[in-house]
């Protein structure tokens, strides 16, 4: 499995609160089948300048990587990205590409819940015409996901679903509704810690095999792999 959305770096955002927690989260993910984990700390460009964010993220990443790279049996491969908040038109920022998944043009966007779907789609379109490929973070958490998907028709986007969406009494119905009529989905953990929001993609995959068996490979591996090679899927 490839996890494209996680908050496993220490001292960067509301994710791992120590180096020990960070390493334990990564070890846990590996033991449950994650081959690659991408660290995607929260990035709010209007609150923090991009260079500061990148410096802090990279320092944290380098600290963890030094340990993780020494033991590939115990830890997954760790890559960098960012979860970029979309609360305004950020297409005007130069070097937005620096916030993409490393080595790619894919950028993970967290949609503001208080902005209209039409305005969000306009901003996403503006990002797409700069040559970047928008990935919509946890579309399942977005109340108006149906409207959002309609607004985004014609724009090449990837939708990310949180693994936790697959659990619960109505998960089958909910997931089927979300994926209906569109074909680019990935599932990620969005893990923040070892307790309330831990790695759970292995459980989600077992549920997905029953709910959307034809999409499992794309959702848990192939889609993310294409993205990391900067290919379409
Ligand atoms: Fe997140």
* Protein residues with C-beta less than 5 angstroms from the ion ligand 1: 83, 190
CA distance 20 to 64: 10
Which residue(s) pair with 42 in the sheet?
83
| Domain assignment of residue 73, given as a range | 2-228
Measured CA to CA, the distance from residue 125 to residue 119 in angstroms comes to 10
pLDDT in single tens digits along all 233 residues of the chain: 999 999 999 999 999 999 999 999 999 999 999 999 999 999 999 899 999 999 999 999 999 999 999 999 999 999 999 999 999 999 999 899 999 999 999 999 999 999 999 999 999 999 999 999 999 999 998 888 889 999 999 999 999 999 999 987 778 888 988 888 777 999 999 999 999 999 999 999 999 999 999 999 999 999 999 999 999 98
Does residue 233 fall inside a structural domain?
A: no
Entry pTM? 0.96
Q: Which of 78, 62, 71 is nearest to 4 (CA)?
A: 78
Is residue 218 in a domain? Answer: yes
Q: How far is the CA of 189 from the centre of ligand 1 (A)?
A: 9
Please report whether residue 15 resides in a domain: yes
Structure tokens at 132: 């970047």
Give the CATH number, domain containing residue 132.
3.20.20.140
Span from the CA of 54 to the centroid of ligand 1 (angstroms): 17
Give residue 111's region: left, alpha or beta (phi > 0; psi -120 to 50): beta
């Amino acid at each position: 499995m490839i996890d494209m959305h996680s908050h496993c770096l220490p001292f960067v955002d509301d994710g791992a609160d120590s180096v020990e927690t960070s390493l334990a989260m990564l070890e846990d993910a590996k033991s449950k089948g994650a081959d690659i984990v991408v660290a995607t700390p929260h990035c709010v460009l209007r609150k923090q300048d991009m260079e500061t964010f990148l410096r802090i993220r990279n320092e944290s990443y380098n600290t963890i990587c030094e340990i993780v790279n020494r033991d590939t049996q115990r830890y997954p491969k760790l890559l960098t990205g960012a979860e970029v908040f979309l609360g305004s038109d950020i297409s005007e920022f130069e070097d937005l590409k620096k916030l993409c998944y490393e080595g790619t043009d894919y950028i993970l966007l967290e949609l503001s819940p208080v902005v209209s779907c039409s305005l969000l789609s306009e901003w996403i379109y503006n990002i797409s015409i700069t040559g970047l490929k928008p990935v919509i973070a946890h579309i399942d958490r977005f109340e108006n996901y149906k409207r959002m998907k309609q607004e985004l028709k014609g724009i090449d986007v990837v939708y990310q679903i949180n693994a936790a969406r697959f659990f619960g009494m109505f998960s089958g119905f909910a997931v089927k509704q979300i994926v209906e009529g569109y074909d680019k989905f990935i599932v990620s953990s969005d893990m923040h810690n070892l307790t309330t929001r831990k790695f759970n993609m292995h459980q989600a995959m077992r549920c997905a095999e029953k709910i959307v068996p034809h999409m499992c490979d794309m959702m848990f591996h192939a889609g993310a792999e294409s993205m990391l090679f900067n290919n379409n899927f």
